[in-house]
Amino acid sequence: AQSVSQHNHHVILSEAASLELGCNYSYGGTVNLFWYVQYPGQHLQLLLKYFSGDPLVKGIKGFEAEFIKSKFSFNLRKPSVQWSDTAEYFCAVVAGGYNKLIFGAGTRLAVHP
């Protein structure tokens, strides 16, 4: 069965620190990869996506992610976090068509001023 693993459940950073959140998936075929974010009190929204092409993708608010096929990974990065990045981040994969997203368990990020 397809699955998504997120390495960190809770991350605490100070403003201006760099961020990297790990994500690994299990599926041998073609996948679409996503990072979704849920800010406090807000709905889940798309942060960035990878379908094909350049494995380094850029999303909103300065986030980027790198797809490494050989490692089945899609790690999220941001060079310098802000207090407003405090949120829960979900890695997700679609494999086999349609819109059935398989989500990771999520990472709660807290950024302190």
Partner 1 sequence: KAGVTQTPRYLIKTRGQQVTLSCSPISGHRSVSWYQQTPGQGLQFLFEYFSETQRNKGNFPGRFSGRQFSNSRSEMNVSTLELGDSALYLCASNPGQSTGELFFGEGSRLTVL
Token pair in block for residue 45: 């929204």
Question: Please, what is the minimum distance in Å from the beta carbon of residue 16 to partner 1?
Answer: 30
Amino acid letter, 4? V
Question: Please, what is the minimum distance in Å from the beta carbon of residue 58 to partner 1?
Answer: 16
Residues between 32 and 51 with contacts to partner 1, criterion CB under 8 A: 32, 34, 36, 42-46, 49, 51
Length of the chain: 113
Question: Please, what is the minimum distance in Å from the beta carbon of residue 60 to partner 1?
Answer: 13
Token pair in block for residue 64: 């980027």
Residue 45's beta-bridge partner residues? 37
| Residue whose CB is less far from partner 1, 63 or 90 | 90
User: How many amino acids of this chain bind partner 1 (CB under 8 A)?
Assistant: 24
CB of 60 within 8 A of CB of 47? Answer: yes
The residue ranges that bind partner 1 (CB under 8 A) are 32, 34, 36, 42-46, 49, 51, 90, 92-94, 97-106
